[in-house]
Amino acid sequence: MKRTLLNSVKLVAVCIALIAMVSSRAWADDASKKLYDDRCASCHGASGKGDGPAAAALTPPPAPFAKALAGKADDWIAKATKEGGPAVGLSPTMPPFSDLTDDQVKGLVAYMKSKPGVWFATGEQIARFLKNAPQ
């Protein structure tokens, strides 16, 4: 009985993580994609791998979103986007986009998180949750 309950809790946790990932992709609308293409893709690349045409000229080059955004809260990503890299302890080569509205930034955050490999929680965080789940 306890083992069945534990397996159910684990299954629910995995389902929540998957739903969060799918929901992020649903929120990434066309306006956010256009904004990303216009403002971000030249450095971060079309798929968020840090391989845009301008990336080679940057030191350090942009990190792939799958690594850079792993486990980061939306507020952290929004701050990095709106205030630039130094605002969150990153490189000054990440410029601020302070002219964007809060809604535009929210859309960009959702769009960035929709890129392959970008999750709301890291694998380590999910593993820690499952390890500490009631037994």
71-117, pLDDT tens digit by residue? Answer: 889 999 999 999 999 999 999 999 999 999 999 999 999 999 888 76
Q: Within 13 Å and on the Cβ side, how many CA atoms surround 96? A: 10
Give the pTM: 0.67
Q: What pLDDT digit, counting tens, does each position of 26-37 carry? A: 445 899 999 999
Alpha helix (H) residue ranges in the chain: 2-27, 30-39, 41-44, 65-68, 74-83, 102-113, 123-131
What is the dihedral sign for C-alpha 75, 122, 46, 34? negative
Structure tokens at 115: 């890129």
Instruction: Show the domains of the chain with their CATH numbers.
Output: 2-131 (1.10.760)
On whether the CB atoms of residues 75 and 127 are closer than 8 A, the answer is no
Structure tokens at 111: 């769009």
Structure tokens at 42: 């030249």
